[in-house]
């Protein structure tokens, strides 16, 4: 049985993504994971490097992806 689409995904968007994946496949996206060990090898010389550049990272309080950043330095929290 087909499930209804979530509110953030329209039928037109789904058709667009489906057609593009049908044309090109997902090889490019998967290649990142195929090459993951090599990426670590290539970046090993900078393992302990610090970036001395002002930066700002903003994320939502309920963003499941950033749960690993709980211990990160927090300059300010916005609500």
- Give the pLDDT means over successive 10-residue stretches in the chain (79 positions): 88 94 87 93 93 79 69 59
CA atoms within 13 A on the CB side of 48: 0
Tokens 């995904």 found at: 9
Task: Please tell me the predicted confidence (pLDDT) of residue 9.
Answer: 94
Task: Please tell me the predicted confidence (pLDDT) of residue 70.
Answer: 61
Phi-psi region of 25 (alpha: psi -120 to 50; beta: other; left: phi over 0): left
Task: Please tell me the predicted confidence (pLDDT) of residue 63.
Answer: 74
Task: Please tell me the predicted confidence (pLDDT) of residue 51.
Answer: 82
């Amino acid at each position: 049985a087909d499930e209804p689409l979530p509110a953030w995904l329209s039928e037109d968007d789904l058709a667009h993504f489906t057609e593009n994946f049908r044309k090109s496949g997902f090889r490019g996206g998967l290649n990142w994971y195929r090459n993951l060990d090599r990426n670590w090898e290539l970046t090993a010389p900078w393992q302990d490097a610090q970036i001395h550049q002002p930066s700002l990272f903003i994320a939502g309080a309920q963003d499941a992806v950033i749960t690993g950043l709980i211990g990160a330095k927090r300059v300010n929290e916005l609500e």
